[in-house]
Structure 1
Amino acid sequence: MTSTATLSPLSVAARVAETIDGLFATIDAWRDLLQTHLEATSTPTAAALDPIVEACALPELADDGLITGAGFVAAPGLLSDAQWHLAWWLAGTGGIRRLATVDDPSSEQFRDYTALEWWRLPARTGARHVTGPYVDYVCTDDYTVTITTPVVVGGRLLGVVGTDVLVDRLERELLPLLRASGEPIAIVNPLGRVVTATDARLEPGSMLRLDGLTQALEPLRGAEPARVETQLPNGADVLACGDTSLALVIGL
């Protein structure tokens, strides 16, 4: 993506939201498909569910777009043939592969995924969630943003469906927009962690520490991110990117 026209901060925020909303729309469609399957199944199994998840994930991974990982993570005890289960596929230089996991809780290599943010927050709020940027040691060993949404049937959480997006891919997509604003600008998550910025010193995953920023971003940390448009004591402006839970910090 290239742009030579100057974009207003509102336009930049809208374009960032459009990019993230496209990812949300993808996993929302998967969620709906899985909920329909699980509603019609009295005894769900990994054997029946995995091909459905694979059929959703593989076309997106083969497209070589923003998505580098995708799948479904089951609530413990949901599946009769797998107490703990991840159906997750990854795209890399060697092609598309399924993530190998340790599902035996007695193993030293077992990891309780329900304690991780990308599971914990959707489970608590019932809403979609953007986790990161963080170094994903399980899948990519690189800075990643994980987007997840809960799969719920009859008020019961049955799992989460989601995608992984490498931060360097997001940067290639979003940095031209930031630069087109003509302002020093950063995209941050609700905790103030940098996704990308025009200042190369603000590395992805680092915390942007500005007076008042934590308080300004607080409305983005709820189940339904609220509108944020405010100015910090140092004169920087904070502007929410739609309801994605991300925000622009302008005039650093």
Structure 2
Amino acid sequence: MASSPRLVSAAAAAPDETVADVAAGIRDALEGVFDAVSRTCADTQALLGSVSAEGRRPVSADLAPMRPGLHERLGRYELVSGIGFVAVPGLLADVSAWLEWWQTDGNGHVRPLVPDLDPQHSAYSDYTHWDWFTLPRDTGRRAVAGPYVDYLCSDEYSLTLSAPVTVEGRFVGVAAADVYLRNFEAAVLPLLQRLTIPARLVNARGRVAASTDPHHLAGSLTKSAAFATLPAGPQHSTVHDGLRLYPCDGVPLVLVTEAA
């Protein structure tokens, strides 16, 4: 579970330049993960584009050449615990659904995920309703989903960062990477603790990803219609519903404090 946040004083609002520096640090921490996602997206598009040029439907074996790159990214990107491509059901000719997914175990060994995607046996076989899939599919943009207990991949409290994969203008799935929440908090809580007021990071669904606010712990929800649109909007702070919102410069998280 998430660690308890350090309490901070709410005596005064944080200067915008300080918050901007913190938001930039959060952006830098997550852009490394999104770089791994972007490389996976490019590999997937290249492979599926080659198959399409041959005039046939892809099969699961066509994705095997991605594996060296996925293995290398698991070793290179410190926050990444799992990475791969998740296909739209029906994309591949030999299976109804597929995750080309690799992850590290507790000993640091790289191993494939072999999920049970049979709807008669697994309650988690339909992955198309999860935020890490639906947000990129519906918006065409990158997404941060969670934190949530990742029953499909690791049984760990995690975040999933994802991006849409398109081939010839058609959505074919998502490239994604998992980050254990404990590792994410270790990276971003020191940044949030630089602020003199309680603050939290919130994704497009309003889910709190990390927090120094004892009233809004990681995993809880913050309601505001602004979260879904603000990451793509202006980079200066705005006030909505009594909250001051600071975009993290293109990363789909919003730094939230109470409005002064």
User: TM-score if structure 2 supplies the norm length?
Assistant: 0.81
Q: Identify which of 18, 29, 33 aligns with 2:28.
A: 18
Larger mean Cα displacement after TM superposition, 98-107 or 28-37:
98-107
What is the rounded CA distance, in whole Å, between the counterparts of 1:122 and 1:67 in structure 2? Answer: 19
1:108 Cα deviation (Å)? 4.8
1:251 Cα deviation (Å)? 4.8
1:59 Cα deviation (Å)? 1.8
Q: Identify which of 107, 131, 141 aligns with 2:145.
A: 131
1:90 corresponds in structure 2 to 103
2:3 corresponds in structure 1 to none
2:238 corresponds in structure 1 to 230
What is the rounded CA distance, in whole Å, between the counterparts of 2:248 and 2:49 in structure 1? Answer: 34
1:15 Cα deviation (Å)? 1.4
Counterpart contact for 2:132–2:143, Cα < 8 Å: yes
Q: Identify which of 39, 44, 64 aligns with 2:58.
A: 44
1:64 Cα deviation (Å)? 6.6
Q: Identify which of 232, 248, 254 aligns with 1:241.
A: 248
Larger mean Cα displacement after TM superposition, 171-180 or 16-25:
16-25
- 1:31-74 CA-to-partner distances (Å, cap 9, x unmatched) read 1121111111133221131231x222212223471011111111
- 1:104-147 CA-to-partner distances (Å, cap 9, x unmatched) read 34445561112222112222222222111112122222321111
Matched, 1:29 2:43: no
1:178 corresponds in structure 2 to 192
- Which aligned pairs between 1:141-152 and structure 2 lie closer than 5 A? 141-152=155-166
Q: Identify which of 117, 122, 139 aligns with 2:136.
A: 122
What is the rounded CA distance, in whole Å, between the counterparts of 2:93 and 2:172 in structure 1? Answer: 13
Counterpart contact for 2:201–2:210, Cα < 8 Å: yes
Structure with the larger RCO, 1 or 2 (CA within 8 Å, 6+ apart): 2
Please tell me the root mean square deviation across aligned C-alpha atoms, in Å: 2.4
- 1:198-249 CA-to-partner distances (Å, cap 9, x unmatched) read 23564210124xxxx61443423xxx72226223565x52211112221111
Counterpart contact for 1:216–1:230, Cα < 8 Å: no
Alpha-carbon spacing, 1:97–1:251, altered in 2? closer, same or farther (3 Å): same
Structure 2 residue matching 1:205: 3-state secondary structure: coil
**Identity percentage of aligned residues:** 34
What is the rounded CA distance, in whole Å, between the counterparts of 1:122 and 1:218 in structure 2? Answer: 12
1:27 Cα deviation (Å)? 1.1
Question: Which residues of structure 1 form unaligned runs of 5+?
Answer: 1-5
Query: Could you tell me which amino acid in structure 1 is paired with residue 80 of structure 2?
Result: I
Alpha-carbon spacing, 1:78–1:68, altered in 2? closer, same or farther (3 Å): same
The number of residue pairs the alignment matches comes to 238
Query: Could you tell me which amino acid in structure 1 is paired with residue 244 of structure 2?
Result: D
What is the rounded CA distance, in whole Å, between the counterparts of 1:86 and 1:75 in structure 2? Answer: 9
Q: Identify which of 49, 72, 78 aligns with 2:85.
A: 72
What is the rounded CA distance, in whole Å, between the counterparts of 1:126 and 1:233 in structure 2? Answer: 27
Counterpart contact for 1:102–1:109, Cα < 8 Å: no
Counterpart contact for 2:32–2:77, Cα < 8 Å: no
Larger mean Cα displacement after TM superposition, 225-234 or 6-15:
225-234
What is the rounded CA distance, in whole Å, between the counterparts of 1:105 and 1:193 in structure 2? Answer: 28
Q: Identify which of 125, 129, 133 aligns with 1:111.
A: 125
Counterpart contact for 1:196–1:203, Cα < 8 Å: yes
Structure 1 residue matching 2:100: 3-state secondary structure: strand
Query: Could you tell me which amino acid in structure 2 is paired with residue 184 of structure 1?
Result: P
Counterpart contact for 2:40–2:85, Cα < 8 Å: no
Counterpart contact for 1:149–1:160, Cα < 8 Å: yes
Query: Could you tell me which amino acid in structure 2 is paired with residue 245 of structure 1?
Result: P
